[in-house]
Amino acid sequence: MSKTIILYIIMLTSLTAFATQRQDTIPNDPAYLLKLCSEAMERRDFHSTRSHASCLRTISQREGNDYYLGYADYYLGSAEMFLGASPKAGELLNEAYRLAKYLDNDTLTGNVLNCLAIYEGNANSNYYLAQHYLMQCKDYPGMEGSAYSNLAQVARLQRDTSGIEYARHCYDYGLRTGERHYLYSGLKSLAEFSILREEYEQARKYLAQAYDIADKYGYHDRDTLDFLEALILSYEGHTTESTEILLRIKPKIESDFPIYVPELYMVLGKNAEKEHRYNDAISLLAAGIEKAQSASSNDYLPQLYKITAQNYEYLGDYRLAASYMTKALEAAENFGRTERKRMMNERRLMLEAVHKEQERTLAEQKARESRRLNIVLALLLAIAAAAIVHVIVTLRRRNRLYEHIVQQNLNMLAEEERYRHRLEELETQQSDHNERDRQAAANRESKSRELFNRLQQLMTDEALYRDANLTREAVIERLGTNPTYLAQAIKENADMNYAQFINSFRMREAVRILSDRSRLETPIKDIAGEVGCNSLTTFYKLFQQATGLSPSAYRRSLLNI
């Protein structure tokens, strides 16, 4: 009996010691967890950052410590952002910003503004708001390097090569302070901009230095450097080597750096196209389109659709090629509308900021003695001058954007027209064979799709949309269907209602006419009537919704190209 008790005590002691030892391996000290978060973030180890920050958040909430909770939300939000959980990241970062302002903690505020900028740029493609946050962030202590690093990334996302100056500032800041993190970020950005400028040898020099730092200090984002190396190989025509690298790093990129995923699939698709593996290219590009749509990376959609159209052309399927070129055009138009809205928001925010600054300055003016009136007036003049400069810069940006939209439309319209002519040639040459194919396809397709195809054919072949008095009933009679089936077919195949569908053809025709330099003298009112709009006001509204520009602004931008 005594031996049993002794054995039981020994077992209990061992289990207690094991439990104590296991508990000791889980840090409960908030300061130590904060240090672990910082170190993991610097190494780009976002999974470890998320794990440590989650523990820190739990402890902070239990103890009611807002200081550590603010940092926990910041690190956790940053990790979730880089790992692709965008909405959750936004909530955490905004909560961290609220706590930082409440605590009057400049260090935390600067860091959160920095990450909010990355979030807006990558998750929402809101480059103006990203720049707005970074310009604020730059003025906080110790945030200059981070601000320049991320200003460079925002410029890269916009494919604005002038952003290389931000990359140089980041690199110089790293040299000046001895902080390797900024040396590394600067070198990586310099490589990215060199690739955009097609300076591939220079890009490799920057990459070699970045590789040295990543290997020496165990950075976890070395695969993103491999991705840049694969880009260079692809652009230089070494598609086999590029594809090998991309396939090797794809699991890590998809797991840890999802913001690169749409571009990765796009490069894989381009490589397959260059190797004449057109079906493989189409499959890869389809995956890229799916990833871009799920991640709201709308910047890549026009390119992905356009390259897909090229591959269908190489396969001789001009109907699908034309369809994807139309999608590319629609994606570009949607991007233009989004950018226009952002510029309007930019102007509104700028005016609000100027107004608030003027109110603050005037309030200070009343409190000052009269001898300081000249200083106040000088400040007001400086604010007004800054506002004027900002307006000029905004107008220039707007004009560049308008010209970019028009040029993109011109390119895609030309491709779409080429596909249409080629399709007509093939149909003329093989009318009987095509008729049999259409019949076979019609038998395979659902009734909804068949009805939608007939409707599209009416619009493209007979241009019914040009009739300003076109009624739904007339279309239904031509198709031999009923209102319910017609509405269902349009909704299932185009995700529009009847009016939106008809107006999409009208606006596409308007874009074609306004892009035709031989018709620059045609009054806009006549164009509105020609495409089926009996109201000039309605035409202006629909055109601006479709392209982001007014018809007159579109025509002016065409003249500048």
pLDDT in tens, 468-487: 888 889 899 888 889 888 88
Indicate the number of domains in the chain.
3
Same domain membership, residue 418 and residue 451: no
Same domain membership, residue 484 and residue 555: yes
pLDDT in tens, 478-520: 888 898 888 888 888 878 888 888 988 898 889 889 888 888 8
Question: Higher confidence at residue 201 or residue 299?
Answer: 201
H or E element at residue 266: helix 261-274
Which whole-number Å values give the CA distances from 209 to 169, 180, 188, 216, 235, in the listed order?
17, 11, 9, 11, 21
C-alpha torsion angle, residues 50, 51, 57, 63 (rounded to 10):
-160
pLDDT in tens, 392-405: 655 665 666 566 56
Domain edge (last residue) among 109, 141, 173: 141
Q: What is the total residue count of the chain?
A: 561
Same domain membership, residue 449 and residue 408: no
Cα 113 to Cα 141: distance, rounded to the nearest angstrom: 13
Quote the pTM value. 0.56
Q: Is residue 64 part of a domain?
A: yes
Domain edge (last residue) among 425, 457, 491: 425
Same domain membership, residue 382 and residue 345: yes
State the pLDDT confidence band at 297, using cuts at 50, 70 and 90. Answer: low
Predicted pLDDT at 219 = 85
| In contact, 114 and 144? CB cutoff 8 Å | no
> 531: Cβ–Cβ under 8 A, 6 or more apart, which residues?
465, 466, 506, 507, 509, 510, 513, 539
pLDDT in tens, 326-358: 788 777 766 655 555 554 554 454 445 445 555
| In contact, 398 and 339? CB cutoff 8 Å | no
Cα 144 to Cα 146: distance, rounded to the nearest angstrom: 6
Cα 449 to Cα 442: distance, rounded to the nearest angstrom: 8
Same domain membership, residue 394 and residue 483: no
What is the residue whose two structure tokens read 């991309």?
A: 246
Assign residue 116 the CATH number of its domain: 1.25.40.10
Q: Is residue 152 part of a domain?
A: no
Domain edge (last residue) among 121, 141, 161: 141
Same domain membership, residue 412 and residue 516: no
Same domain membership, residue 130 and residue 33: yes
Same domain membership, residue 474 and residue 403: no
Q: Is residue 14 part of a domain?
A: no
Same domain membership, residue 557 and residue 514: yes
Residue 120 is part of which domain span?
Answer: 27-141
Q: Is residue 432 part of a domain?
A: no
Q: Is residue 7 part of a domain?
A: no
Q: Is residue 267 part of a domain?
A: no
Question: Higher confidence at residue 159 or residue 304?
Answer: 304
Q: Is residue 402 part of a domain?
A: yes
Report the candidate in 222, 270, 216 with the shortest Cα–Cα distance to residue 242.
270
> 425: Cβ–Cβ under 8 A, 6 or more apart, which residues?
none
Q: What is the DSSP string of 390-417?
A: HHHHHHHHHHHHHHHHHHHHHHHHHHHH
Cα 362 to Cα 353: distance, rounded to the nearest angstrom: 14
Same domain membership, residue 498 and residue 416: no
Same domain membership, residue 354 and residue 405: yes
Q: Is residue 92 part of a domain?
A: yes
Same domain membership, residue 419 and residue 498: no
